[in-house]
Amino acid sequence: MEDVKEQVPKSMKVLMYYSNRDVRVEEMPVPSIGPGEILMKVISSGICGSDVMEWYRRDKVPLVLGHEVAGIVVETGKGVDRFSPGDRIASTHHVPCFNCHYCHMGHHTVCDTLLRGTHFEPGGFAQYLRIPAINVERGTFRIPESVTFEHASFMEPLACVLRGQRNAPLMPGGTVLVLGCGISGLLHIRVARFMGAGLIVAYDSIDYRLALAREMGADICVKAGEPLMDILKEKNQGRLADFVVLCYEGFSELGVSSIERGGVMLFFSGASEGAALTIPINQVLWRREITVKSTYAGAPYDCYQALSLIREGILPVEKLITHRLPLEEGQKGFSMVSSPVEHECVKVIIEPNK
């Protein structure tokens, strides 16, 4: 616990998003909290790939983004007894209801409450944020003493990866192909190694990302344009990949062509507006027992497991943090994440209170 006895100001700085090329530092009131709620002082907030999906945000701007957060409790509402001012916490912006059809079927991350009913106010790229009561109850966790704030901010993206691999599922000993080695792809590589994958192959067009992929556990790194399927067969006893993780839509058709009989393709990342995939049924699906899966977000259990893995040092997330920026340099951070070929960045952390 940290000794936080500061007077909470009436106003705060936020990073207001209008577009990837227009991100401004503005001022707004510090949110007021109600029963069951928490006011968090945001220490670390990661920029997610979904934060730069302009079409996804177009009808909601201007808004304060940021959902990969870790910080300090500065105020608690009536009825909050699990947390106190000074506690170090990580929280997720979306949590399920646990009571609907989808939750009962194990599909917590497509629950209406998770998809549409829970969020932070105003968002993680702010000096302070309000955590609603349902998020306090189901999606807020104490940060272990050995874990830093910036490491704890990986809880939410890592939870998404863990859920995707568990639901697919990845089978121990299988050959894994990760297409796209941004932050999600790199986390998938490390988790696949931890989950007992056999051969792990990383594919990307950016050299420094492939170098990081090897550090995270990839056995073979293939540069885009090289004959991927030939390399797979040569290194894998004539077989293709048992488990393909698509983390970049530009590699989707290649991914479909790289699945072995009985294999699984996991569509992990979002895509551009209107993106579509045509799969030749006879050549790809019929008589080959191919499974095509998708995944979205993480549930509370996934967050708990993610924080545990970070605590144990199984996920060396410090290798993935390439930039730490104050709010005043938020535009620079968004520019880097939205144009990764031009900037050697993987995970950009915004530090609102620096």
> How many CB atoms are closer than 10 A to CB 104?
11
Choosing from 252, 277, 294, the residue where a domain stops is 294
The proportion of the chain whose per-residue pLDDT surpasses 70, expressed as a percent, equals 99
The CATH code of the domain that includes 112 is 3.90.180.10
Which tens digits make up the pLDDT trace of 135-186?
999 999 999 999 999 999 999 999 999 999 999 998 899 999 999 999 999 9
What type of residue sits at position 243? F
Does 311 reside within a domain? yes
Residue 45 makes CB contacts below 8 A (sequence gap 6+) with 66, 68, 69, 70, 124, 125, 153, 349, 350, 351, 352
Choosing from 250, 274, 294, the residue where a domain stops is 294
The CATH code of the domain that includes 209 is 3.40.50.720
Residue 73 makes CB contacts below 8 A (sequence gap 6+) with 4, 38, 39, 40, 41, 83, 84, 85, 86, 87, 89
Does 284 reside within a domain? yes
pLDDT of residue 2: 47
**Do the beta carbons of residue 295 and residue 267 sit within 8 Å?**
yes
Reported as half-sphere exposure (CB side, CA atoms, 13 A), residue 273 has a value of 7
For residue 266, the cross-strand partners are 245, 293
**Kindly report the CA angle at 323 between 182 and 317, in degrees rounded to 5?**
60
Does 182 reside within a domain? yes
Choosing from 294, 314, 338, the residue where a domain stops is 294
Sign of CA dihedral 134, 137, 139, 143: positive
Same domain, 187 and 228: yes
Rounded distance between C-alpha atoms, residue 276 and residue 294, angstroms: 14
Does 5 reside within a domain? no
Does 164 reside within a domain? no
pLDDT exceeds 60 at position 17: yes
Same domain, 257 and 317: no
Does 129 reside within a domain? yes
Cβ density class 71-89: b for 16+ within 10 Å, e for less: bbbbbbbeebeebebebbb
**Do the beta carbons of residue 305 and residue 159 sit within 8 Å?**
yes
pLDDT of residue 5: 60
pLDDT exceeds 80 at position 130: yes
Same domain, 91 and 180: no
Rounded distance between C-alpha atoms, residue 116 and residue 100, angstroms: 14
Same domain, 336 and 214: no
Same domain, 314 and 206: no
Same domain, 282 and 327: no
pLDDT band at 341 (very low <50, low <70, confident <90, very high): confident
What range defines the domain where residue 251 resides? 169-294
Same domain, 177 and 143: no
Same domain, 19 and 40: yes
Q: How many domains does the chain have?
A: 2
Same domain, 261 and 224: yes
pLDDT exceeds 60 at position 274: yes
Q: Which of 75, 45, 66 is nearest to 152 (CA)?
A: 45
Does 20 reside within a domain? yes
Does 223 reside within a domain? yes
Same domain, 196 and 269: yes
Same domain, 80 and 122: yes
Strand 63-64 relative to strand 11-19: parallel, antiparallel, unpaired?
antiparallel
> How many CB atoms are closer than 10 A to CB 245?
29
Sign of CA dihedral 125, 131, 132, 136: positive
Same domain, 35 and 102: yes
